[in-house]
Amino acid sequence: MFAPARRKTDVSSALTRNLLRLAPLGLLVLAGCAGRDDLYVLLPGKGKTGALTVTSGGERRILDQPYAAARVPRTGSVNGRVTTEAEVRRAFGPALAAQPGRPVSFYLYFLADTDEFTLESKQVVTHIFAEIARRPAPEIVIIGHTDRVGSVQYNDALSRKRAERVREELLKLGIPKVRMSVAGRGEREPEISTADQVPEPRNRRVEISVR
């Protein structure tokens, strides 16, 4: 069972508003019920750990190193110590396994004036889609782009068409439509800046952001 503290325990710096949201920042807090105690553990992030203050019963403990922990028993005191990765995995294995993967982005490129993948993208599209489908509950943002050949209005429609093509392929893999959002940015956000009416293959793309 995992839950926030039921007593007057203050986990500072607004970290308790959404614990899972902290993972992309390299900071993850696990709050668990261990018998009648509440346990907070600060996990290491990618390149940084951050800090967390736990306050209860007039006592205060700062967690500022990887695997630092604070146990808050029913008495309201705060007992601090440093755990190990192995201990954390034993105590919080199911919760850690349920955490979403780190956000990742993929790019697919298209033939001029079409929603057809280039040969290079065709060679990797299956791998990309399989990686997306592997995530248990992905949230996917699909954004289409074009180069500057054609009118702004035409490219808006074409970029949207490309994004929708990618969504249709993901739907075939069983990813729910509700988990995907689609947008077309036309020629507004080029990968490579060019003059108007200049073709640029690297701008004819769809960006797939997954978290």
- CB < 8 Å & 24+ apart, contacts of 16-22: 20/99, 20/100
**Residues 112/149, Cβ–Cβ less than 8 Å:** yes
Cα-Cα-Cα-Cα torsion 125, 131, 137, 143, nearest 10 degrees, comes to -40
pLDDT at 8: 42
Q: How many CB atoms within 10 Å of residue 114?
A: 13
pLDDT at 207: 97
The C-alpha atoms of residue 51 and residue 68 are separated, in whole angstroms, by: 10
Q: How many CB atoms within 10 Å of residue 121?
A: 18
The string of pLDDT tens digits covering residues 169-197 is 999 888 899 999 999 999 999 999 999 99
Low-confidence ranges of the chain (pLDDT < 70): 1-37, 45-49, 74-82, 95-101
pLDDT at 44: 74
**Which positions ≥6 away from 52 have C-beta within 8 Å?**
11, 12, 13, 15, 27, 29, 40, 42, 62, 63, 64
The count of C-alpha atoms lying within 13 angstroms of the C-alpha of 147, restricted to the half-sphere facing its C-beta, is 19
pLDDT at 20: 34
pLDDT at 70: 75
- Chain centroid, CA 27 distance in Å: 13
pLDDT at 73: 73
pLDDT at 204: 98
pLDDT at 3: 37
pLDDT at 96: 67
Query: For the chain, which domains are there?
Result: 9-97 (no CATH), 104-210 (3.30.1330.60)
pLDDT at 80: 65
The C-alpha atoms of residue 53 and residue 43 are separated, in whole angstroms, by: 14
